[in-house]
Amino acid sequence: MEELKKLRLRRGQLKGTVTRIETFVKDPTSLTSATVDTLEARKEKLISALKEYESVQLDILSRDETDKEEMGTFEEVFFNTLAKLNESIRMLKGSEAAHTNNVSTSKLPNVDIPTFDGKDFTKFKPFYDMFLAVIDNNKSLSNVQKLFYLRKYLSDEALSVIVNLPLVNGSYQEALELFKKRYNNEARLISSHINVLLDILCMSKGTAASIRSFVSQVQQQLHALKNLNEPTDKCDMILITILGRKLDLHQ
């Protein structure tokens, strides 16, 4: 009896899995935001649930022939849900293929935009300004094409901010706002540039090459801070004191 109880409990869990997937496919909002990968994953889970359900049901009947489970109703729910999933996957694949073909027909200026992964905040402003100049301000591109390129030039953490938005015209401005909200934090950007200054390695040898490299690193960060409206001209003594400690004064 204990084993029969466990089998019926498992049968109930499997029916619950199918019901949740059925609820998902009946919700227009869920399908609108879904990707091909998420739909394929639910399809696999749905099919797996049916196979296990049939096996469990046979085990139950072998122990209790009077079991009154209505398999016909369950199978009808399963096949209707599977059909809806297949239809949604076909439509989404067709839409993505159309967008990809549309994007591929547009030629961009021959400019190499470095990928932004979101790990180094000091790289946000250069990336964002370049993206606006080359992509966002390009009047020949549709919004869906701009979104395509935004996704192309983002990776890792930065890409995760917008990756779940559907590849449609209406998503571009939303993606841009989400991206700016996440990384266009002036206090965080200023702090990141100051930390780079503090973390510049001390010069072990006062060669011409090492001095040029040191000066270049400092100027890059000061220029970035100036672009963020940070008054670097009012903290000369602080900078001289901090950077002076990194110089090899005994050469």
CB 116 within 8 A of CB 155: yes
**pLDDT (tens digit per residue) in 174-208:** 999 888 888 876 666 666 666 666 656 666 666 66
Q: What pLDDT, on a 0 to 100 scale, did the predictor assign at position 17?
A: 92
Q: What pLDDT, on a 0 to 100 scale, did the predictor assign at position 216?
A: 66
> Which DSSP letter does residue 169 get?
T
168 closest CA partner among 100, 89, 85: 100
Q: What pLDDT, on a 0 to 100 scale, did the predictor assign at position 251?
A: 47
Q: What pLDDT, on a 0 to 100 scale, did the predictor assign at position 245?
A: 62
- Domain edges within the chain: 2-104, 121-184, 188-244
Q: What pLDDT, on a 0 to 100 scale, did the predictor assign at position 191?
A: 66
39-48, 59-68, 176-185, 233-242 — most confident range: 39-48
pLDDT at 234 over 70: no
Q: What is the mean pLDDT of residues 203-215?
A: 64
> Which DSSP letter does residue 116 get?
B
**pLDDT (tens digit per residue) in 92-151:** 776 655 555 555 555 555 667 888 888 777 778 888 888 998 888 888 888 888 888 888
| Three-class secondary structure of residue 154 per DSSP | strand
Q: What pLDDT, on a 0 to 100 scale, did the predictor assign at position 16?
A: 92
Please provide the distance, in angstroms rounded to a whole number, between the alpha carbons at the two ends of the chain: 88
pLDDT at 244 over 70: no
CA 158/CA 242 separation, integer angstroms: 32
CA 138/CA 43 separation, integer angstroms: 40
CA 103/CA 109 separation, integer angstroms: 14
Average model confidence (pLDDT) for the chain? 77
Give residue 185's identity as a one-letter amino acid code: N
pLDDT at 47 over 50: yes
